[in-house]
Chain A
């Protein structure tokens, strides 16, 4: 791989992703490029069905690109691995035969990344962070959808991966819990400065959670823009800056660009090379 700035953790270059079904070939994303730097809270924003989940799964190593390359930490992604823990969009990612605590401990045990004595403590701390201590010995079928999501988040965070991949992790939560989880994520980031790729289709969430926002076009997903989110938070919800950014994103998302005119920031690699 080309020697690049050590800050660049994830490099996605001209990645085209396709699904082959018995009678269709669906192109989910087309020639997507982006660069995620160490410590980024990188948000992927786009309308439903534009290939956000697919792109995230490709970074996770679950789907092979038909074109282009994905490099994480200087190595090309070829298969899934615990250095890229993913929180999936669907609920049934927890193992129904394990309790909450066992579910959170499982990746640590499977990868052997931590000492045996350490896994339990780390798992308990992670469960406490998502406020599920009361439910630690309960089986997943007794949890609500939002609670399952929080377990999945705790499980991924406890492993401290190089990149955390989160696919609409807060979409199933009620407004209050969502806000709390967003704040918790930011507080945790402040503490640990991990790198996270975060998929959402809420503009507000993108601005509040993200440090950088990648905007994808409707299906098939192509890069429309990449913006700096700045330090806007819920406190600035009524500020003109927040409104202006939200409006700008909205326009980029839903107004068709004139053909041929690529928008600003769509080629971040040009600056990197």
Chain B
């Protein structure tokens, strides 16, 4: 291993420079006239801009899928098994306008918000412990390794025994589904913060909570955001599944219950309308809320392409 390659000792004569493969004549020339470039900056035409817009392209895919659905359903002509899109939309609009769907959605969103917030708060607590002590990190990695693969729906029976039918059980399973996913990605994010960035944070005299809040969290934000997205998807899925198993809680059930009820009545368009709502809300959160957060943070900072 040579440690002196940056400055080779002058005392030893340098080896002769190898000959160029084919010598060519030197030349110097005046710079090309740059004023002829014409438009240096130009706004793209409308079709170009539309084609560059993610939302537009995705909407096009969506429309295509809907058309296929409609055509297939009309061709199959069996509303009991596979209703058309127009019938589904009709049911959806009907239940939306008479307030049933809004009511059901609200019932679902309440435990969801509680569980999601609770899961994130607990994940913050766990990861703070994990970054501040080695035993904390050991505890968290062991717990995540144990519980992350455990489907939330599998702990539902236990939740029912502990908390009975109702919101607390739902919140419990949602916390379970959010907590481990978010902790895992946050911890991974913290661990991959460049050493130099950590040092320059500590150089400013930052310690403890201020260090975590001002350096680690923003530096690990891409990973944290990814964790929040996964956590959201898990939570939403778990909730709908739990409601399906659960059946009715007190007066009214959530979206899962809406679907379950429709199945019992063999009202397939209503089942579809329920699924449609589930997808719509999932899509809305994913592609509106999270996209906006992404564009305003990690993309603006160049931490994610």
Contacts and interface: CB of A to CB of B under 8 A. Distances in A.
12 contacts: A47-B4, A47-B7, A48-B5, A80-B203, A82-B204, A84-B203, A95-B218, A97-B218, A110-B204, A139-B300, A139-B302, A201-B6
Given A48-B5, A80-B202, A110-B214, 9 more contacts: A85-B203, A86-B203, A90-B194, A92-B197, A95-B215, A96-B219, A201-B7, A219-B3, A250-B7
A81 B205 contact: yes
By secondary structure, the A interface counts as loop
A145 B302 CA distance: 15
A96 B9 CA distance: 40
B146 interface: no
Interface string A83-113: 0111010101111110000000011001100
Q: Give the top 10 A-B pairs by smallest Cβ distance, nearest first.
A: A141-B302, A110-B204, A90-B196, A254-B9, A93-B200, A92-B194, A107-B204, A80-B202, A97-B218, A93-B196
B221 interface: yes
Interface in B264-305: 297, 300-303
Contacts of B200: 86, 88, 93-94, 152
A50 B302 contact: no
Contacts of B302: 96, 139-142
Counting contact residues on chain A (CB < 8 A from B), the size range is 35 or more
A225 interface: no
Contacts, number: 92
Given A47-B6, A48-B3, A218-B4, A62 B199 contact: yes
B160 to A, nearest CB: 44
B3 to A, nearest CB: 5
A170 to B, nearest CB: 14
Counting contact residues on chain B (CB < 8 A from A), the size range is 20 to 34
Contacts of A90: 194, 196
Contact of A255 (B11, B297, B303): B11
B7 A95 contact: no
A46 B93 CA distance: 76
A44 interface: no
By secondary structure, the B interface counts as loop
A219 B1 CA distance: 11
A111 B204 contact: yes
A97 B297 CA distance: 8
Contact of B206 (A49, A94, A110, A203): A110
A111 B214 CA distance: 13
A60 interface: yes
A176 to B, nearest CB: 19
A84 to B, nearest CB: 8
Nearest to B195: A90
A111 B3 contact: no
B14 interface: no
A250 B7 CA distance: 9
Contacts of A139: 300-302
A201 B5 CA distance: 11
Contacts of A254: 4, 7, 9, 11
A111 B215 CA distance: 14
A86 B199 contact: yes
A151 to B, nearest CB: 11
Contacts of A219: 3
B299 to A, nearest CB: 10
Interface in A19-54: 47-50
A70 interface: no
**Chain A CB within 10 Å — which of B199, B203, B204, B221 has the most?**
B203
A106 B204 contact: yes
Nearest to B297: A97
Nearest to B8: A254
A218 B297 CA distance: 45
A90 B196 CA distance: 7
Given A62-B202, A80-B205, A85-B203, A96 B7 contact: no
Interface in B178-202: 194, 196-197, 199-200, 202
Contacts of A107: 203-204
A42 B204 CA distance: 23
A17 interface: no
